[in-house]
Amino acid sequence: MVEDNTKELWTREGRILITGAGQRVGLHCLRRLLERGERLAMTYHTERPVIGELREQGVICLKADLSQAESVEMLARQIHDEVGPLRALVHNASAWIRDKESDTEYAAVMQDMMQLHMMAPYLLNMRCQNLLLKGRSPLADIIHITDYVVEKGSDNHIAYAASKAGLANMTRSFAKRFSPEIKVNTIAPSLLMFNEGDSEEYRQKTLKKSVMGVEPGPDVVYQALCFIMDNAYMTGREIKLDGGRHIR
């Protein structure tokens, strides 16, 4: 008989920490996990009223600028002091920055993208390894949120795509390094939610890129997070959430 260890995975001690969870996908996942009674922590960069509401609900909220190495180091210390054992670490924080047109700005964009999408997850994974191992269950999770453009490339978000590709590669390296106690996996979405101000023309053009042709919303990421955390035999892998862009 196959042993069902799902319950143990969900009821272990330790918080699920999501970076950049003050809005949109991260906030949605946080709220859905709260509904399930999970113990949570999050990071944010911009002060918003929702941060106070989350604190009232028992979420540990830590402010950090993940584009600054010193701030990431400070955050790692705060996680040790204020959060403690981790059930999962979800690297969601991101900025979708276009490559600039002026040559004085090229380096700045690439530096910001590498810092936010690669250096910050790299440092936090290294610094928090011992916290992820302290849970009761034998398994903990690191989850990297990347992007469909890792596969396809992008002609006007080159630095963004490259930095997300670096993060995708780290999934495999960390999965090797931290196995078997910590599983490390990637979720690679294409369009989840449009941004306010996206034109109707842009929306229609983007919807046509996938065979499913819809804006799925953030819950598909929550579903993928749950699948990864519930599954005891997947590491170094990627879940693609792209409505079938590859077969369009």
Ligand X SMILES: NC(=O)c1ccc[n+]([C@@H]2O[C@H](COP(=O)([O-])OP(=O)(O)OC[C@H]3O[C@@H](n4cnc5c(N)ncnc54)[C@H](OP(=O)(O)O)[C@@H]3O)[C@@H](O)[C@H]2O)c1
Catalytic site residues? 160
Q: CB-wise, 144 or 183, nearer to ligand X?
A: 144
Q: CB-wise, 9 or 229, nearer to ligand X?
A: 229
**Residue 59: in which H helix or E strand, if any?**
none
Task: Express the helix, strand and coil content of the chain in percent, nearest 5 each.
Answer: 45, 15, 40
Distance from C-alpha of 154 to C-alpha of 172, rounded to nearest angstrom: 23
> Is position 42 an interface residue for ligand X (rule: CB under 6 A)?
no
Distance from C-alpha of 74 to C-alpha of 115, rounded to nearest angstrom: 15
Could you tell me which stretch among 42-50, 82-90, 102-110, 127-135 binds ligand X (CB under 6 A)? 42-50
Beta strand residue intervals within 34-85, DSSP E:
40-44, 60-63
Least distance from ligand X to the Cβ atom of residue 165, Å: 12
72, burial (CB in 10 Å: exposed 0-12, middle 13-18, buried 19+): buried
Cα dist from 167 to 7, 116, 122, 231, whole Å: 30, 10, 8, 21
> Is position 95 an interface residue for ligand X (rule: CB under 6 A)?
yes
Could you tell me which stretch among 4-12, 30-38, 88-96, 128-136 binds ligand X (CB under 6 A)? 88-96
Q: CB-wise, 9 or 162, nearer to ligand X?
A: 162
The answer to whether residues 60 and 82 touch, using CB atoms and an 8 Å cutoff, is yes
> Is position 184 an interface residue for ligand X (rule: CB under 6 A)?
no
Q: CB-wise, 15 or 91, nearer to ligand X?
A: 91
> Is position 66 an interface residue for ligand X (rule: CB under 6 A)?
yes
Q: Work out which of 114, 159, 192, 225 binds ligand X, going by CB under 6 A.
A: 192
Window 101 to 140, contacts with ligand X (CB under 6 A): 116
Q: CB-wise, 39 or 91, nearer to ligand X?
A: 91
Nearest to 190 by CA among 209, 168, 163: 209
Q: Work out which of 8, 10, 65, 158 binds ligand X, going by CB under 6 A.
A: 65
> Is position 25 an interface residue for ligand X (rule: CB under 6 A)?
yes
Distance from C-alpha of 172 to C-alpha of 181, rounded to nearest angstrom: 15
Report how many residues bind ligand X under the rule CB under 6 A.
26
Nearest to ligand X by Cβ — which residue? 20
Q: Work out which of 123, 193, 207, 226 binds ligand X, going by CB under 6 A.
A: 193
Read off the tokens for 45: 């960069």
What is the maximum alpha-carbon separation in the chain? 63
* Interacting residue ranges for ligand X, rule: CB under 6 A: 20, 22-26, 44-46, 64-67, 92-96, 116, 145, 147, 189-193
